[in-house]
Amino acid sequence: MVAPSGLERLLELIILVMMVSLVVLILFMIVQKLRIEYVRRREERVARELMQVLSKGSTAQVPSLDPAVAPDRRALARALAIHGDAAAVTALLSAYPRLLKRLQSESLHGRWGRRAAAIEGLGLLQLESLRDFFMNTLANDPDARVQATVLEALARLVRRPEDLEQLAAVMPGVPDLAAGFHEGVLVRALQSLAATGESSAEVFAIFLEKLSATSPLLRVALAAAGRTGLQSFVPLVAARTMDPALPLASHLSGLRALGRLQPDHPVLLASLKSSQPESRLVAAREIRDASPEAVSALRTALEDANFHVRRNAARTLFALGEVGSEALRATGAGTDVYAADMSRFVLSRETPR
């Protein structure tokens, strides 16, 4: 048993250790805060100076730039995202003649984050001479996150229809990426194509038409077409969506694209009567048509056996305004229990109080 005096000394020692630990922790937090503030200020300064170089094309006073340092890489990406035209890139490479080699060297770093950041910087330069480098990196780097960055870089290099086909050919080789990411890559490719003065809608329509019904890229391409907002895609998207050979996932992607491009399209109305509940569900959510025929079809969908179809139909009717709300009130007073319950539920939940 420890003597009282010994116990007191033990408690004093514990308190002393706790106080020292607390002081060390406070000092550590202060140092970390100072470090974060230093990094932030450095990134802001380098980005500001780089933007001056890129916007004015002046190389008289060139700020220091080290691609191996994270804040400098982020500053470079920010500056190029705002001033990334050919003249600005020429001025940048003139000011930093070793920049390409430094970034390419960083792209071989052991840590995937540094490799991806370097490739992002190279991609923002939009240099055709880097295409083979990107293709080799895509083939040899095992990390899907780095491969995703390479795909984005290749999307920025799309200048011709052949470039789009090349990008589409390598995209399925990165299976770990979500379809939403591939969709974004195609949209980026369309933006790059449009920046060259090429008719991106026409080129993409040809590309979309060439894809077979079973192609894994068709679902992504239909979604990308919807995100463009271009009405010229509507006939082609509608035709591909109703292809009977289309897998369900691609068919649903086409319905969502039509919902973005033309939410009162007859294909959406026809899909409310589909034998597939998934098609009815998406159509009921995407359609925005206040015509008597559409309102009648949506009221019929309130009696659907699938709960989610009923819910989407009710929400869509409510979104149509007074004509839809009137239909919900009429159905809510009807004899079909499920349709009446859903109508009253949506009216009570969605109506502002």
Average pLDDT (184-194) is 86
pLDDT bracket for residue 176 (50, 70, 90): low
Tell me which fold the domain 263-353 belongs to: Leucine-rich Repeat Variant (1.25.10)
Query: Does pLDDT of 180 surpass 70?
Result: yes
Residue 340, token pair as written in the block? 């009446």
Three-state DSSP state, 56: helix
Q: Which residues of 82-117 are buried (b: 16+ CB within 10 A; e: fewer)?
A: ebbeeebbebbeebbeebbebbbebbeeeeeebbbb
User: Which of 62-66, 161-165, 211-215 is predicted with the least confidence, judged by mean pLDDT?
Assistant: 62-66
Residue type, 130: L
pLDDT at 353: 37
Q: What angle, 0 to 180 degrees and rounded to 10, lies between the N-to-C axes of helices 322-332 and 307-319? A: 140
pLDDT at 4: 59
Q: Model pTM?
A: 0.74
Three-state DSSP state, 20: helix
pLDDT digits (tens, 9 = 90+) for 310-326: 999 999 999 999 999 99
pLDDT digits (tens, 9 = 90+) for 277-292: 999 999 999 999 889 9
pLDDT bracket for residue 175 (50, 70, 90): low
Query: Does pLDDT of 155 surpass 70?
Result: yes
Percentages helix, strand, coil for the chain (3-state, rounded to 5) are: 75, 0, 25
pLDDT at 266: 94
Of residues 68 and 118, more confidence is placed in 118
Query: Does pLDDT of 89 surpass 50?
Result: yes
Q: List CB contacts of 247: < 8 A, sequence separation 6 or more.
A: 213, 214, 219
Residue 123, token pair as written in the block? 């991609």
Average pLDDT (114-136) is 91
pLDDT digits (tens, 9 = 90+) for 228-280: 888 888 999 999 999 999 999 999 999 999 999 999 999 999 999 999 999 99
∠ Cα 213 170 124 (to 5°): 125
